């Protein structure tokens, strides 16, 4: 009896966990939550929890992104990047990274190439998809970035 309950609970957990990680395949389609993102929600400090570049996960040690009054800055583990942004809050909210931005230029070992690719794609229009509880997915054609709001105490 105990083994059956354990197996049932294990399968249920795996099913729930797998469904929570499911990737949506609608890069530019309308999403029911997308229309509910006011521009001021994207202000503040965020932890970058996941990055996908051209359908490949980027292994992050740490990452952060800060949006403040039209300026952004952040890191995905080595160099710091910064620049200007604008939010369009029409029917499909978008985040526009103006220009290519700039970054520091430290040597990052094996992470160097991945970081350069990330920074190369961090430009132009990104669609904003709220995922609930301070989590957002911003994405364009090549790059998907999961952001989690950092709470200040």
DSSP of the chain: -HHHHHHHHHHHHHHHHHHHTPPP--TTS--TTGGG--GGGG-EEEEEEEEEETTEEE--S--EEEEETTEEEEESSSSEEEEEEEEE-SSS-EEEEEEEEEE-----GGGHHHHHHHHHHS-EEEEEEEEETTEEEEE-SSEEEEEEEPPP-
Determine the pLDDT at residue 41: 75
Tell me the domain boundaries of the chain: 36-149
- In the chain (153 residues long), the average pLDDT of successive 10-residue segments reads 50 42 38 47 91 92 91 93 89 84 88 88 93 92 95 68
CATH number of 36-149: 2.40.128.270
């Amino acid at each position: 009896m105990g083994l059956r309950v354990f197996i049932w609970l294990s399968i249920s957990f795996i099913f729930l966990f797998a469904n929570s990680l499911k990737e949506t395949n609608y890069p530019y389609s309308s999403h029911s939550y997308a229309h509910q993102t006011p521009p001021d929600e994207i202000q503040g400090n965020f932890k970058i929890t996941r990055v996908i570049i051209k359908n490949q996960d980027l292994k992050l040690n740490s990452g952060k992104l800060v949006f403040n009054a039209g300026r952004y800055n952040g890191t995905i583990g080595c160099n710091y990047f910064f620049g200007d942004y604008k939010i369009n809050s029409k029917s499909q909210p978008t985040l526009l990274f103006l220009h290519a931005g700039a970054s520091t230029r430290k040597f990052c070992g094996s992470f160097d190439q991945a970081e350069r690719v990330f920074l190369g794609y961090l430009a132009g229009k990104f669609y904003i998809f709220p995922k609930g509880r301070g989590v957002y997915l911003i994405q364009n054609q090549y790059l998907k970035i999961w952001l989690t709001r950092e709470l200040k105490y």
